[in-house]
Amino acid sequence: YDVVLPPLAVQAGMGEIGRNGFLITPTLGSRVRLSAVLTDMPLVVDEPIDIAVEEFCENCMKCADTCPSDSIPTTGKAEYNGILKWKVEAETCSAYWNKVGTDCAICMAICPYSKPDTPLHGVIRWMVNNSWLAPKVFPIMDDLLYGKDWKVKPVPEWLDWK
């Protein structure tokens, strides 16, 4: 890529980078597709936001635990190219994509931040951002409510072309 978009999106105040290496936004989690338009037009600058993704991801581990290629680290952040981050193994992730013939996105789907933007989830996100205990408790609650493992949904009959 000519422009690496997740760090720019963080600087633009859209969200934070999660353990899975994707931008996590307050309302859509990692279920976003980024693109960029380069311009020299003067624009109002937004500030980065803190939605407690880092604290949450330190405790959650759902994306790392369900990654079929073990590409998401289960350890803490490490320094890469002068940046402290969770380093996703792009090579093993891409190799898995090639093996299954499509992108995987299990890490996006299993992420608690990617749950629907309902009033209840809004309250939970607020609590995660404003309580030291919530980032430790809510991953457990997510396991209880939604399950610990990713379950592949069956292909709807109308879409099964075989």
Q: What is the DSSP string of 72-84?
A: S-SS--EEETTEE
pLDDT of residue 126: 80
**Closest among 40, 76, 38 to 57, alpha carbons compared:** 76
Is 154 contained in some domain?
no
pLDDT of residue 151: 67
Write out the H or E segment, with its range, that includes residue 23: strand 23-24
Q: Are 23 and 34 in contact (CB under 8 A)?
A: yes
For the chain, the first-to-last Cα distance in angstroms comes to 36
pLDDT of residue 21: 93
Is 127 contained in some domain?
yes
pLDDT of residue 152: 64
Q: Are 79 and 106 in contact (CB under 8 A)?
A: no
Give the bridge partners for 78, in sequence order.
85
pLDDT of residue 48: 95
Number of domains in the chain: 1
Cα–Cα distances in Å, from 53 out to 17, 59, 136, 147, 162?
Answer: 7, 10, 12, 20, 41
Overall pTM > 0.95: no
pLDDT of residue 95: 93
Tell me the C-alpha distance between 32 and 17, whole Å.
Answer: 12
Is 156 contained in some domain?
no
The parts of the chain modelled with pLDDT lower than 70 are: 1, 150-156, 159-162
Is 158 contained in some domain?
no
Is 160 contained in some domain?
no
Residue type, 68: P
**Closest among 17, 29, 18 to 124, alpha carbons compared:** 29
pLDDT of residue 155: 65
Domain membership of residue 15 as a residue range: 5-149
Is 97 contained in some domain?
yes
